């Protein structure tokens, strides 16, 4: 698997200064993107995948990516679909067109959350200051995605590289999440 | 903090990702209008509150969002089984025996 | 019973305290009692005491599976107050407050009831509304409760952080001055000694394992670790274990038993003058006479009979304490423990007859029954002796859950503690 | 002379680094590597504190975390941390320590009068007195007791330090790094397993750090430790945590460790946390927590200078400190002899070895003889002399009669004692394991494992160095095997020397003194004597739990680590029952007292709880708005202008909305998108109202009950398409409504083809309310006809606002013409600023939650949670109209039929008008039929909402009143402290009853 497997979708927001940039770890705001929440039954899996352009992953906590596309397993009948910013309408019409009357739910949640990219040698350590998940590479390999809890905020973590994670939180929680991460990282630069 | 296994995500996670929703297998009467006050109060409020092997509902609220059931020993807090919502209640006595209780 | 007093203490000092008698006997069970109380917690012992003292029933056993006072009575944060919302609750808890005032003298045992004031903080507009509603309701019911501005709250409790810059600033507080604390063990021991002196047999290490019923379904007696004990009436006062005991008589109850944790800090010199509670950010704190900060946490989310709980529960309680009292951040936890609290859907207790003739139950005190101990025992004794409730506990039936006539302290956003 | 008790050489201190510190203001010297205790002892200071109850002078007893006496306050940043153990405090340059629980000074303490009065203060004395006169308890007795009790002084200023947290997973966690722990770490790490090794001390090695007479693989123990640590440090899979106490063992092999990161540094970098909480999920655990020595219970066993023998040895060998110049050793076991020998080897005068045993082992006798040490066998200490430091010991000799005869007196300046060893089973017990009594060892040791753990070494009663090492290796291997299924060959080191000792005693020693006059301490800190334990038993306390609570033995800051076993034995003797029948008190967390800050971690200030902000937040701040907390959200409460108070601001805001237009941020309301072919069916089953016939493009007010029949939430629901609804909920109710929906969907009606998605944060919502709302909005909208016909009240359309897609609702919570515009969150700021600017043209205003409340109250709209409290039904609330009459079922329907919910006399929702329009009722005020109700009169209801209504220019109120609907026009009373306020019962709608203003 490539190091930054979803790099064409998850990119640092060029307009934003880094939230943190030290040797051991950096935290960057990710650029906006299209996010859709897709719910459907097993029978519609294939059709939805082909309409979206990448097969919907069925293994728990896994993700699948293709050119400018990512599909993240969120639950047994729930996927988050990532596509480039401002493509929501076309993606929606592709999928709706294909699924037609097959029972499903497709909801635009592009703006519900924000993402940051936490990367560097101490990235996993930093996440572990607030998240109880084993981020060792064997148990949380690249491509793994999971909702979880960071201190008192719900978050989603997607490992996009050996030492790189996307952390998403609902917008109103992001100050809390990124602020605490930056604060907890400060000891790394202690004398 | 308990460690809870989600049968949908197939991972063990910290209890804080989950919410516990009380006794399992308390079905909502299928025809409430034909249900007596006595039966309705049993559905609403009466609970086994077992000391020992107990089937209870959990939800992976900060994960996949699914409800599922678990059998737990309420004395040791050890889980004996996790199973998906909709699956029948396992034989608690057999589970207890298996666990050497 | 030898009366306790300073003089007696001085006298005994000369005989090197060799001549103090037992505070209670350790009798063998008789084969039959008029009343058997299951559970020697504060409520069970108080029930036996008042049955003997006020209703002339002398042939009583209190049957206890462990050591008396070892249940929630021995593990609570000892907050005593009566400023509950509904008339029924305020009536019940205030009855207890009335009895607390003279309890040391009544029992001739210093239970250290300390009316240092209980302050309940409001952090939001909604909290303020709820507090005000309590205060007005209490005034009408004759229950003391008053509103304090943040400044007045700080004056009453100088360590309080009333800065506007904390996450949930203090917008004021409801203060019940007659509220306070009492020494939990002394309450159990005082009632035990008092009951014992009136002839009550307290049978410790004697778990009830079954409830025997006759052909008509009426209670005949209890099976115990020490054999069958015949009884005309049985009162179950088993707190966290009530479901387990009542199941023995085939009675299902609207109860769930949760772990509730508490902790104490290392002892320090006086640092905290009153009791402070915050339901919104979940913190309860006072300082014991020995000097520890006594802190109550929340319940775990699952039922458990383990008398322990998760560390995240303590974390959340202590972070709230440190937010309100930031200079306590360097204090240290000495001991952390748990109890098993029996919680009803409306957070109010059940003090009631049951569908089984001769069987009575006193339970559902959840996180807040220590404060009610004297009142609860008093009216429950009445219920058992007369086979009908005292007016004060008439509303606290099991049947209220069927009819919908709940006494919902939880809905009114006043977490009972 | 500086450090008169320092040895010439030896120990692990750095003699070239001299440190200056102060104790009670006196400047003293020590070395790098000292603890405060060892440095004090090096200076000859034994008296370090006063006891809890009797204020007796007390000295250092141990060299570890179990220290009961030497508790001090340490100053930093102008404040002090109380109750730190001098035996654990690492010395640094400039350290400031103070003694505690004494006034005015350690040497002269007025509290010591308690010691003279002690005959009046036996165990539990306070339960027997202070009852008369009654009023004295609160005013006199209790304040005096409180002032006398407590140890150190609490900190006075907010803590400046920070605390860290880390969650970790490992295969094998090893608690304790003595020979057992180190061997376990070597064996486990060799397999590649992820290992964490922690020890509460500053250095790894445990008891080996003070071992000089044994060797391992032919090396000095210190050399072996260094090599071992070096090896472990090289391995990626090993995490070494010194200064880290495993303090809690929870269910499912979840352990909590406290790492002290900066406490030992003179000037720590403020970026570093003071302590760090490790929350570790370990697949397997090795408990290698060692054993601690037991004091002996003899009269006056608490004088400064009386210490544990092993502590004396540790001070000598590890810290290079002689605990005295003339040391008496009193023992019941072998290990203490080694201390005597080591002391003698350092030239310390050993006043003698007093052994309780008639025939101590030959080999020890021989060694003692070789060193010329006087040995008294079959002998015990029966008392001591010297108030602030021990001067001499009285000896007794056991006679065949069973009595004790005086055996003379030996002078000494330190007395080292050993009653044998107690395995440290705290963590094992916390793991819910049950200890078992080992009568050979006279100790409780771990029984069967309940969780995935094993004990090793002295913590399970193994004492010989060789067997401890072997046990450690085996435990490490076994743990790794169990965790990862692999084993590896490691070569076991072999030890010579360090053989297991024999002997030991439990309980009080016999003596020939007047029992009623002397005190033999069981629990030092809490001043519990053997007499107290016996008294408790005499008074009927038969359970060890009662004895503990009555005497407070074991309840001090060492949690009985030194005292429990002796107390148990004394109780057992008094009860005449075997120790095993008396029971054991429960070991609880924390293993040693643990800082609150550690538990609280990063949760402080803004990070105490997430601060959730809406897109208008910055604008509100700039424009002087005042916020209120609603759950985690910051919502604008009101917008004061030009020094207005809340009342004036709200009056202006309300008036403006009714006359022109107001702008309100409704973003916090919960939003749920319900999508799928069965969407309408789902809502039909859940909400009280009918949904199936609602046309796309239209909205309806929805009422949600619980199955008991009580109102739990409400909100407007818009139908966007046949299969798509936009549901709104209250701000606070959003998560629970969502959870309830999921619950019914997943577990009750899984057959329904419908899914829900939270869109609360997808949208920013601006409410424009007022007669000018349409005019304000029109210039920005495209794709929608805003006219009343095309977009009537209670409808919804998708359109664009300033070119961005939006969902436009025509709804009103004010009774005025109203729109709620939902744009994606990113455009929320733009929308808000655009509209805020535009309304200025119309003389409009932004308004906050308070005005929103007033405006809706004028219209009689309820707020769930304010006008309802979980006990209110739709009928009570006057909302029977919201119930779909033809529906067979919905959540709550059956509950509504229960006897009390259909009974007469229910409290119902009404309006109230005070007779005096200027009088505003207090929210929460009670309502009665009697004008002057007697105390105890049940209320007929209460005021749920109360405001001054600018539209009516008078006060209005909403209330829940018994039979309220039938009481319209009647007068009721609101009793207040200064008299009753008469009120007239009205309908809840005060303004525009016909709703004409809505439909424009
Ligand atoms: C951590 C904590 C903090 C609390 N804080 C407060 C507070 O601040 N203020 C307040 O008012 N309340 C508080 N409470 C609640 C309060 O402790 C209880 O409501 C009250 O003590 C209950 O008393 P009880 O006598 O009913 O129960 P308990 O004291 O629990 O007595 C019940 C007894 O029944 C015995 N029993 C059970 N089963 C059997 C059997 N089969 N056979 C024989 N005996 C049996 C038990 O061993 C036990 O001794 C707190 C509770 C906890 C756990
Ligand atoms: N000769 C005898 O009779 C006798 C008696 C007792 C002990 N010993 C000797 O003691 C040694 C025992 O070795 P061991 O390795 O079992 O024990 P140990 O005492 O050498 O090591 C235990 C270590 O665990 C640490 N510890 C304890 N609880 C902890 C916790 N909760 N968190 C973190 N650290 C904690 C202690 O600080 C200590 O460093 C052997 O050398 C043995 O010979 C001998
Ligand atoms: C109000 C109160 C104060 C307490 N103070 C102390 C204390 O100072 N020291 C102590 O060790 N335990 C203290 N405890 C806790 C008890 O030791 C014990 O943990 C508790 O009664 C529960 O019993 P258990 O831990 O044996 O299960 C206190 C308990 C209560 C309820
Ligand atoms: Zn899951």
Task: Please answer yes or no on whether C252 and B47 come within 8 Å at the CB atom.
Answer: yes
With a cut of 50, say whether residue A2 has pLDDT above it: no
Q: How far is the CA of B7 from the centre of ligand 4 (A)?
A: 7
For C161, nearest residue in chain D (alpha carbons): D158
Chain D: list its partners (3+ Cβ pairs within 8 Å): A, B, C
B79 shares contact with chain C (CB less than 8 Å): no
Residue D120 to chain A, least CA–CA distance (Å): 52
> Does ligand 1 come within 6 angstroms of the Cβ of C117?
no
Ligand nearest to the CA of D496: 2
pLDDT tens sequence across A69-125: 999 999 999 999 999 999 999 999 999 999 999 999 999 999 999 999 999 999 999
> Does ligand 1 come within 6 angstroms of the Cβ of C377?
no
Residue C291 to chain B, least CA–CA distance (Å): 30
CA atoms of D24 and D37, how far apart (whole Å): 14
Residue A6 is predicted with a pLDDT of: 53
Task: Please answer yes or no on whether B11 and A148 come within 8 Å at the CB atom.
Answer: no
> Does ligand 2 come within 6 angstroms of the Cβ of D592?
no
With a cut of 60, say whether residue A4 has pLDDT above it: no
| CATH superfamily entry for domain D862-986 | Probable tRNA modification gtpase trme; domain 1 (3.30.1360.120)
What does the pLDDT profile of chain C (417 residues) look like in tens digits?
789 999 999 999 988 999 999 999 999 999 999 999 999 999 999 999 999 999 999 999 999 999 999 999 999 999 999 999 999 999 999 999 999 999 999 999 999 999 999 999 999 999 999 999 999 999 999 999 999 999 999 999 999 999 998 999 999 999 999 999 999 999 999 999 999 999 999 999 999 999 999 999 999 999 999 999 999 999 999 999 999 999 999 999 999 999 999 999 999 999 999 999 999 888 999 999 999 999 999 999 999 999 999 999 999 999 999 999 999 999 999 999 999 999 999 999 999 999 999 999 999 999 999 999 999 999 999 999 999 999 999 999 999 999 999 999 877 653 333
B89 shares contact with chain A (CB less than 8 Å): no
Task: Please answer yes or no on whether D893 and B37 come within 8 Å at the CB atom.
Answer: no
Task: Please answer yes or no on whether B63 and A78 come within 8 Å at the CB atom.
Answer: no
B20 shares contact with chain D (CB less than 8 Å): no
**Residue D158 burial class via C-beta count within 10 angstroms: exposed 0-12, middle 13-18, buried 19 and up:** middle
> Does ligand 1 come within 6 angstroms of the Cβ of C238?
yes
Residue B79 to chain D, least CA–CA distance (Å): 9
Task: Please answer yes or no on whether D516 and C18 come within 8 Å at the CB atom.
Answer: yes
D665-856 against D862-986: fold identical? yes
Between D119, D540, D552, which is nearest C22 by CB? Answer: D540
> pTM for this structure?
0.97
Chain C: list its partners (3+ Cβ pairs within 8 Å): B, D
Specify the DSSP element, H or E, that contains C147: strand C146-148
> Does ligand 2 come within 6 angstroms of the Cβ of D457?
yes
Contact (CB, 8 A) for D69 and D77? no
DSSP state at residue A161:
E
Residue B1 to chain D, least CA–CA distance (Å): 7
CA atoms of D192 and D180, how far apart (whole Å): 19
Question: Hey, whose CA ends up nearest to atom 4 of ligand 2?
Answer: D463
Assigned CATH class of D295-419: alpha beta
Nearest to C409 by CA among C92, C76, C46, C42: C92
Q: List CB contacts (< 8 A) between C305 and chain B.
A: 51, 74-75
Between C310, C312, C402, which is nearest B37 by CB? Answer: C402
Q: List CB contacts (< 8 A) between C287 and chain D.
A: 146
The DSSP string of C159-218 is T----TTSSS---EEEEETT-EE--HHHHHHHHHHHHHHTT-EEE-S--EEEEEE-TTS-
Q: How far is the CA of C81 from the centre of ligand 3 (A)?
A: 21
DSSP state at residue A89:
H
For D277, nearest residue in chain A (alpha carbons): A129
CA atoms of B3 and B78, how far apart (whole Å): 9
pLDDT tens sequence across D57-115: 999 999 999 999 999 999 988 899 999 999 999 999 999 999 998 888 888 888 888 88
Beta-carbon contacts of residue D363 (< 8 Å; ≥ 6 apart): none
CA atoms of B23 and B69, how far apart (whole Å): 9
For D433, nearest residue in chain B (alpha carbons): B76
Beta-carbon contacts of residue B101 (< 8 Å; ≥ 6 apart): B52, B53, B73
From residue D930, alpha-carbon distances to D690, D697, D971, D975 in Å are 42, 51, 10, 9
With a cut of 90, say whether residue D467 has pLDDT above it: yes
Residue D671 to chain C, least CA–CA distance (Å): 22
CA atoms of D549 and D142, how far apart (whole Å): 19
CA atoms of D871 and D863, how far apart (whole Å): 14
Atom number of ligand 2 nearest to Cα D459:
16
Q: List CB contacts (< 8 A) between A103 and chain D.
A: 676-678, 753
Residue D299 CA from chain centroid, whole number: 39
Residue A123 is predicted with a pLDDT of: 98
With a cut of 70, say whether residue D1 has pLDDT above it: no
Q: List CB contacts (< 8 A) between B62 and chain A.
A: 147-149, 154
- Sorted by where each begins, the domain ranges of chain D are 14-129, 163-291+423-496, 295-419, 506-577, 665-856, 862-986
Q: How far is the CA of C276 from the centre of ligand 3 (A)?
A: 20
Residue D682 is predicted with a pLDDT of: 98
Residue B47 to chain C, least CA–CA distance (Å): 6
CA atoms of D452 and D249, how far apart (whole Å): 11
Question: Hey, whose CA ends up nearest to atom 17 of ligand 3?
Answer: D555
- Assigned CATH topology for domain D506-577: Arc Repressor Mutant, subunit A (1.10.10)
From residue C5, alpha-carbon distances to D126, D195, D484 in Å are 10, 60, 65
| Domain D665-856: assigned CATH number | 3.30.1360.120
CA atoms of C344 and C363, how far apart (whole Å): 9
> Does ligand 2 come within 6 angstroms of the Cβ of D291?
yes
Task: Please answer yes or no on whether D128 and C319 come within 8 Å at the CB atom.
Answer: no
CA atoms of D546 and D566, how far apart (whole Å): 16
Between B43, B65, B78, which is nearest D742 by CB? Answer: B65
- Assigned CATH topology for domain D163-291+423-496: FAD/NAD(P)-binding domain (3.50.50)
- Sorted by where each begins, the domain ranges of chain B are 3-26+36-98
Which residue is it, tokens 């303004």?
Answer: D991
CA atoms of C86 and D149, how far apart (whole Å): 39
Nearest to D335 by CA among D364, D359, D356, D307: D364
Task: Please answer yes or no on whether B67 and D742 come within 8 Å at the CB atom.
Answer: yes
From residue C377, alpha-carbon distances to C24, C194, D191, D728 in Å are 19, 13, 62, 48
Q: How far is the CA of C379 from the centre of ligand 1 (A)?
A: 18
Contact (CB, 8 A) for D187 and D472? yes
Q: List CB contacts (< 8 A) between D612 and chain A.
A: 172-173
CA atoms of D558 and D571, how far apart (whole Å): 20
- Strand order through the sheet with D907-914: D926-927, D941-949, D954-962, D907-914, D979-986, D971-976
CA atoms of D221 and D468, how far apart (whole Å): 14
> Does ligand 1 come within 6 angstroms of the Cβ of C64?
yes
Domains and CATH numbers, chain A: 3-31+112-190 (3.30.1360.120), 33-108 (3.30.70.1520)
B3 shares contact with chain C (CB less than 8 Å): no
| CATH superfamily entry for domain B3-26+36-98 | Folate-binding superfamily (3.30.2270.10)
Quote the tokens at residue C335.
């001991």
Quote the tokens at residue C134.
């309590």
Nearest to C200 by CA among C379, C23, C67, C2: C23
Residue D103 is predicted with a pLDDT of: 84
Beta-carbon contacts of residue D350 (< 8 Å; ≥ 6 apart): D326, D327, D328, D329, D340, D343, D344, D371, D373, D374
Q: How far is the CA of C240 from the centre of ligand 1 (A)?
A: 7
- Strand order through the sheet with D414-418: D306-308, D414-418, D326-331, D349-355, D375-377
Question: Hey, whose CA ends up nearest to atom 52 of ligand 1?
Answer: C76
Would you mind telling me the total number of residues written for chain D in this entry? 1000
Residue C91 to chain D, least CA–CA distance (Å): 9
The DSSP string of D383-420 is EEE-SSS--EEEEEEE-TTS-EEEEEEEE-SEEEEE--
Contact (CB, 8 A) for A127 and A43? no
Quote the tokens at residue B3.
């460690």
Q: Give me the sign of the Cα torsion angle D749, D761, D653, D732.
A: positive
Across the range D517-527, mean pLDDT stands at 95
pLDDT tens sequence across B86-100: 999 999 999 989 887
DSSP state at residue C18:
-
Task: Please answer yes or no on whether B37 and D450 come within 8 Å at the CB atom.
Answer: no
Ligand nearest to the CA of D314: 2
Nearest to D668 by CA among A115, A176, A171, C168: A171
Question: Hey, whose CA ends up nearest to atom 23 of ligand 3?
Answer: C75
| Domain D14-129: assigned CATH number | 3.10.20.440
Beta-carbon contacts of residue D593 (< 8 Å; ≥ 6 apart): C265, C266, C332, C333, C334, D83, D557
Q: What is the ipTM of this complex?
A: 0.97
Residue C416 is predicted with a pLDDT of: 31
Q: List CB contacts (< 8 A) between A189 and chain D.
A: 271
When computed from its CA atoms, the radius of gyration of chain D, rounded to whole angstroms, is 38
DSSP state at residue A43:
G
Quote the tokens at residue D832.
């808000």
């Amino acid at each position: 698997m490539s190091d930054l497997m979803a790099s064409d979708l998850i990119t640092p927001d060029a307009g934003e200064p880094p939230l943190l940039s030290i040797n051991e770890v950096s935290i960057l705001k990710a650029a906006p993107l299209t996010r859709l929440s897709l719910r459907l039954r097993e029978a519609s899996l294939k059709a939805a995948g082909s309409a979206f352009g990448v097969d919907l992953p069925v293994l728990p906590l896994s993700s699948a990516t293709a050119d400018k596309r990512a599909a993240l397993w969120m639950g047994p009948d729930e996927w988050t679909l990532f596509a480039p910013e401002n493509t929501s309408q076309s993606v929606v019409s592709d999928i709706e067109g294909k699924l037609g009357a097959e029972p499903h739910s497709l909801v635009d949640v592009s703006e519900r959350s924000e993402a940051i990219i936490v990367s560097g040698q101490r990235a996993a350590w930093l996440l572990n200051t607030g998240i109880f998940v084993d981020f060792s590479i064997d148990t949380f390999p690249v491509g793994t995605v999971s909702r979880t809890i960071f201190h008192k905020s719900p978050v989603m973590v997607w490992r996009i590289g050996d030492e790189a994670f996307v952390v998403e939180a609902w917008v109103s929680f992001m100050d809390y999440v990124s602020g605490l991460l930056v604060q907890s990282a400060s000891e790394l630069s202690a004398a | 903090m308990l460690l809870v296994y989600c049968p949908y995500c197939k991972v063990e996670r910290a209890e804080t990702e989950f919410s516990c929703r009380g006794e399992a297998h308390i079905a909502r009467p299928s025809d409430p209008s034909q249900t007596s006050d006595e039966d309705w109060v049993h559905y609403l409020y009466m609970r086994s509150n077992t000391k020992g092997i107990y089937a209870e509902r959990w939800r992976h609220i900060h994960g996949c969002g699914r409800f599922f059931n678990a059998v737990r020993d309420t004395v040791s807090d050890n889980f004996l089984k996790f199973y998906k919502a909709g699956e029948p209640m396992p034989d608690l006595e057999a589970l207890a025996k298996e666990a050497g209780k | 019973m030898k009366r306790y007093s300073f003089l007696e203490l001085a006298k005994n000092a000369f005989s090197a305290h060799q001549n103090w008698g037992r505070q209670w006997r350790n009798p063998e069970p008789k084969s039959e009692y008029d009343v058997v109380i299951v559970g020697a917690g504060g409520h069970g012992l108080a029930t036996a005491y008042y049955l003997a003292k006020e209703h002339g029933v002398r042939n009583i056993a209190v049957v206890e599976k462990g050591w008396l006072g070892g249940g929630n009575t021995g593990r609570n944060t000892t907050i005593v107050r009566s400023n509950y919302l509904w008339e029924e609750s305020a009536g019940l808890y205030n009855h207890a407050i009335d009895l607390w005032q003279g309890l040391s003298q009544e029992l001739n045992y210093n239970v250290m009831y300390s009316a240092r004031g209980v302050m309940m903080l409001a952090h939001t507009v909604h909290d303020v509304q709820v507090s005000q509603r309590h205060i007005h309701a209490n005034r009408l019911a004759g229950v003391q409760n008053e509103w304090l501005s943040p400044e007045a709250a700080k004056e009453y409790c100088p360590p309080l952080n009333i800065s506007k810059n904390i996450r949930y600033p203090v917008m004021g507080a409801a203060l019940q001055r007659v509220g306070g604390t009492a020494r939990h063990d002394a309450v159990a021991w005082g009632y035990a000694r008092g009951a014992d002196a009136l002839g009550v047999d307290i049978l410790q290490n004697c778990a009830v394992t079954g409830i025997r019923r006759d052909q008509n379904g009426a209670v005949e007696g209890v099976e115990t670790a020490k054999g069958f004990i015949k009884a005309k009436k049985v009162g179950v006062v088993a707190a966290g274990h009530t479901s387990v005991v009542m199941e023995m008589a085939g009675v299902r109850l609207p109860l769930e038993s949760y772990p509730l944790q508490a902790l104490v800090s290392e002892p320090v010199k006086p640092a905290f003058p009153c009791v402070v509670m915050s339901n919104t950010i979940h913190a309860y704190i006072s300082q014991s006479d020995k000097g520890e900060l006594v802190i109550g946490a929340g319940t775990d989310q699952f039922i458990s009979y383990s008398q322990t709980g998760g560390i995240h529960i303590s974390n959340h309680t202590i972070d709230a304490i440190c937010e309100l009292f930031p200079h306590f951040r360097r204090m240290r936890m000495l001991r952390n423990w748990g109890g098993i609290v029996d919680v009803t859907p409306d957070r109010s207790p059940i003090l009631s007859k049951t569908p089984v003739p001769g069987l009575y139950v006193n339970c559902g005190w959840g996180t807040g029954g220590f404060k009610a101990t004297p009142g609860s025992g008093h009216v429950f004794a009445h219920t058992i002796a007369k086979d009908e409730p005292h007016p004060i506990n008439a509303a606290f039936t099991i049947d209220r859950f069927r009819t919908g006539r709940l006494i919902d302290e939880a809905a009114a956003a006043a977490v009972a503690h | 002379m500086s450090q008169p008790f320092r040895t010439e050489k030896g120990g692990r201190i750095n003699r070239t680094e001299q440190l200056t510190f102060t104790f009670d203001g006196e400047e003293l010297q020590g070395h790098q590597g000292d603890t405060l205790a060892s440095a004090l002892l090096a200076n000859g200071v034994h008296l370090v504190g006063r006891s809890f109850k009797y204020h007796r002078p007390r000295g250092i007893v141990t060299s570890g975390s179990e220290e009961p006496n030497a508790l001090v306050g340490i100053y930093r940043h102008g404040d002090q941390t109380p109750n730190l153990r001098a035996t654990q405090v690492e010395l640094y340059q400039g350290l400031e320590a103070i003694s505690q629980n004494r006034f005015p000074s350690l040497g002269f303490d007025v509290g010591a009068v308690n010691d003279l009065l002690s005959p009046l203060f036996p165990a539990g004395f306070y339960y027997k007195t202070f009852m008369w006169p009654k009023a004295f308890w609160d005013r006199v007795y209790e304040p005096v007791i409180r002032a006398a009790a407590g140890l150190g002084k609490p900190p006075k200023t907010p803590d400046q330090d920070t605390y860290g947290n880390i969650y970790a997973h490992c295969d094998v966690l090893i608690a304790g790094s003595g020979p057992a722990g180190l061997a376990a770490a070597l064996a486990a790490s060799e397999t590649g397993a992820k290992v964490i090794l922690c020890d509460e001390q500053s250095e790894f090695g445990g008891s080996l750090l003070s071992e000089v007479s044994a060797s391992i693989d032919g090396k000095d123990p210190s050399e072996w430790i260094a090599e071992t640590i070096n090896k472990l440090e090289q391995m990626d899979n090993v995490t070494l945590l010194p200064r880290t106490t495993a303090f809690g063992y929870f269910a499912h092999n979840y352990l909590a460790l406290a790492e002290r990161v900066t406490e030992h540094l003179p000037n720590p970098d403020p970026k570093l946390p003071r302590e760090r909480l490790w929350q570790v999920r370990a697949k397997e655990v090795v408990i290698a927590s060692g054993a601690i020595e037991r004091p002996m219970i003899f009269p006056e066993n608490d004088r400064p200078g009386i210490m544990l023998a092993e502590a004396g040895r540790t001070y000598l060998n590890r810290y290079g400190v002689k605990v005295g110049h003339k040391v008496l050793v009193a023992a019941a076991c072998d290990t203490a002899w080694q201390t005597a020998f080591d002391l003698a080897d350092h030239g310390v005068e050993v006043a003698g070895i007093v052994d309780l045993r008639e025939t101590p082992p030959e080999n020890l006798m021989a060694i003692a003889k070789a060193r010329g040490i006087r040995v008294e066998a079959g002998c015990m200490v029966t008392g001591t002399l010297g108030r602030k430091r021990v001067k001499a010991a009285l000896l007794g000799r056991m006679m065949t009669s069973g009595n004790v005869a005086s055996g003379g007196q030996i002078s000494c300046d330190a007395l080292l004692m050993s009653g044998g060893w107690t395995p440290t089973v705290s963590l094992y017990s916390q793991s819910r394991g049950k200890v078992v009594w080992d009568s050979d060892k006279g100790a409780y040791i771990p029984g069967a494992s309940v969780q995935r753990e094993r004990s090793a070494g002295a913590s399970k009663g193994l004492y010989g160095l060789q067997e401890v090492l072997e046990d450690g290796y085996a435990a490490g291997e076994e743990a790794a095997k169990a965790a990862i299924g692999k084993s590896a060959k490691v070569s076991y080191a072999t030890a010579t020397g360090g053989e297991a000792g024999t002997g030991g005693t439990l309980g009080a020693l016999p003596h020939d003194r007047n029992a009623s006059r002397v005190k033999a301490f069981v629990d030092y800190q809490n001043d519990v004597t053997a007499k107290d334990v016996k008294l408790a038993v005499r008074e009927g306390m038969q359970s060890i739990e009662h004895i503990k609570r009555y005497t407070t033995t074991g309840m001090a800051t060492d949690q009985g680590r030194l005292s429990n076993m002796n107390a148990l034995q004394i109780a057992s003797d008094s009860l005449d029952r075997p120790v095993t029948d008396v029971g054991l008190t429960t070991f609880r967390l924390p293993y040693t007292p643990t800082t609150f800050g550690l538990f609280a971690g990063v949760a402080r200030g803004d990070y105490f709880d997430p601060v959730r902000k809406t897109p208008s937040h910055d604008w509100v701040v700039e424009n002087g708005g005042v916020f209120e907390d609603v759950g985690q959200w910051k919502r604008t409460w009101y917008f004061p202008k030009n020094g207005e108070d809340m009342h004036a601001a709200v009056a202006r805001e309300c008036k403006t909305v009714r006359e022109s237009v107001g702008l309100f941020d409704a973003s916090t309301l919960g939003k749920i998108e319900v999508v799928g072919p069965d969407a309408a069916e789902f809502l039909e089953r859940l909400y009280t109202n009918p949904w199936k016939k609602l046309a796309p493009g239209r909205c309806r007010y929805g009422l949600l009950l619980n199955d008991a029949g009580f109102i739990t939430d409400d909100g407007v629901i818009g139908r966007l398409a046949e299969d798509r609804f936009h549901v709104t909920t209250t701000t606070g109710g959003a998560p629970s409504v969502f959870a309830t929906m999921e619950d019914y969907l997943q577990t009750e009606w899984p057959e329904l083809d419908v899914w829900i998605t939270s869109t609360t944060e997808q949208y920013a919502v601006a409410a424009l309310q007022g007669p000018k709302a349409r005019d304000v909005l029109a210039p920005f909208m495209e794709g929608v006809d805003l006219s009343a016909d095309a977009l009537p009240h209670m409808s919804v359309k998708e359109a664009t606002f300033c070119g961005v897609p939006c969902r436009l609702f025509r709804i009103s919570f004010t009774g005025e013409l109203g729109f709620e515009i939902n744009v994606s969150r990113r455009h929320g700021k733009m929308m808000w600023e655009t509209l805020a600017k535009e309304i200025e043209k119309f003389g409009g205003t932004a308004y906050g939650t308070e005005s929103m409340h007033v405006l809706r109250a004028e219209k009689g709209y309820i707020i769930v949670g304010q006008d309802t409290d979980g006990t209110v039904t739709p009928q009570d609330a006057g909302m029977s109209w919201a119930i779909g009459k033809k529906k067979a079922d919905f959540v709550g329907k059956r509950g509504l039929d229960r006897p009390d919910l259909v009974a007469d006399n229910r409290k119902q929702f009404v309006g109230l008008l005070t007779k005096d329009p200027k009088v505003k009722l207090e929210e929460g005020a009670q309502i009665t039929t009697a004008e002057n109700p007697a105390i105890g009169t049940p209320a007929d209801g209460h005021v749920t909402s109360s405001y001054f209504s600018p539209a009516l220019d008078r006060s209005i109120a909403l209330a829940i009143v018994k039979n309220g609907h039938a009481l319209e026009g009647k007068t009721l009373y609101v009793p207040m402290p200064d008299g009753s306020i008469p009120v007239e019962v009205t309908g809840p709608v005060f303004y525009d009853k016909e709703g004409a203003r809505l439909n424009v």
